[in-house]
Structure 1
Amino acid sequence: MDTLISVLHVATAVFIIGPMAILPMTAMRAIRAGNGAQVAVLAKSTTVFSWLSLLVFVFGFGAMSLAPEEYELTVATPWILWSIILYVVAFALSLFVVVPAMKRAAAALNETDAASGVTARDAGYPAIAAGSGIVALLLVAVVVLMVWKP
């Protein structure tokens, strides 16, 4: 059973956390192209993948609880605690900074016509770039902690 939960934890991390981190970067390309409809779809997709990332969190707790006693894993184990903190920060940034900025960008691009020339800066590009960059770095730090287990 512990192998199944570990596989689910890793598989959901790859197939859910990956898109959660990458989709906002795709949205930045759509903003530069002036495609508000695509930015709106990517904002919705990022929201879905961010919420689905909680499955990785749940499977991680399952893997931790099924680990052999010799490892003495608890939530207070430093690498687990830091992984939880970094993930929660990344999750919050994704849902409360990146996604709203993407929605505002989509609205700004959809409200204007081509003649008005909404720039990427006007469409919230810096907030998306900074927020999604920090989210990606935090998630990489979580991966490092999961592999390294200092």
Structure 2
Amino acid sequence: MDTLIDILHIGTAVFIVGPMAILPMTGLRALRSGSAAQVTTLAKSTMIFSWLSLLTFVFGFGAMSLAPKQYDLSFTTPWILTSVILYVIAFALSAFVVVPQMNKAAEAIEAAGAGADAAGSKPAGYGAIAGTSGIVSLLLVVVVVLMIWKP
């Protein structure tokens, strides 16, 4: 059973958390090209992947609870606690900053209308999306390092 939980934990990390981190960067390209519909779709996808990433979180606790007793793992093990805190921050930034900013930027593009020369320009919120999604990605990289290194 522990092998199955480990596979689910790692699989969801790769196939759910990975897109959660990468999709906003694709959204930045869509913003630069002025494609409001694509930005809206990417914002929805990012929100879905952000919420689905909670599965990785749950499977991680399952893996921790099934780990051999010799490792003496608990929620308060420093690398686990640090990983949890960093993941929660990354989740919150993605769901409550990046996605709303992407939606706001898409609305701004739509409000500008088809006649405006939006291509190549950076709409309002671009910097917030770029900066915050970059922080999310860095936090998730640190979580991966902690999961492998286990200091």
Q: TM-score range by the shorter chain?
A: over 0.9
After TM superposition, list the pairs within 5 Å mapping 1:87-106 onto structure 2. 87-106=87-106
Once the two structures are aligned, what percentage of the paired residues are identical?
A: 67
What is the match of residue 56 of structure 1? 56
Deviation at 1:111, TM superposition (A): 1.7
Distance 1:120 1:64 in 2: 47
Count of aligned residue pairs for this structure pair: 150
The one-letter code sitting in structure 1 at the alignment partner of 2:137 is A
Aligned to 2:146: 145
Runs of 4+ in structure 1 over 4 Å off: none
TM-score normalized by structure 2? 0.96
**Counterpart in the other structure of 1:73:** 73
Structure 1 pair 120–138 and aligned structure 2 pair: CA distance change class (3 A)? farther
Q: Tell whether the 8 Å contact from 1:36 to 1:106 is kept in structure 2 after alignment.
A: yes
- Aligned residues of 2:21 and 2:137 also touching (Cα < 8 A): yes
* 1:47-100 deviation digits (Å, cap 9, x = unpaired): 000000000000000000000100000000000000000000000000111000
Question: CA contact under 8 A between 1:25 and 1:129: conserved in structure 2?
Answer: yes
Q: Which moved more, 1:11-20 or 1:108-117?
A: 108-117
Q: What are the within-5 Å matches in structure 2 for residues 1-150 of structure 1? A: 1-118=1-118, 120-150=121-151
RMSD: 1.1
Measure how far apart 1:29 and its partner are: 0.1
Code of the residue aligned with 1:137 in structure 2: it is L
Q: Could you tell me how far apart the structure 1 residues matched to 2:88 and 2:121 are?
A: 29
Kept in 2: contact 1:31–1:123 (CA 8 A): no
Give, as a single letter, the amino acid of the residue that structure 2 aligns with 1:149.
K
The one-letter code matched in structure 2 to 1:131 is: T
Structure 2: gaps of 5 or more residues? none
Letter in 2 for 1:24: P
- 1:16-51, CA deviations, whole angstroms, 9 ceiling, x for partnerless residues? 000000000000000000000000000000000000
Post-superposition CA distance 1:83-123 (Å, at most 9, x none): 00000000000011100000001111112224334574433
Query: TM-score, with normalisation over the residues of structure 1?
Result: 0.96
Give yes or no for contact 2:31–2:122 (8 Å, CA) kept in 1. no
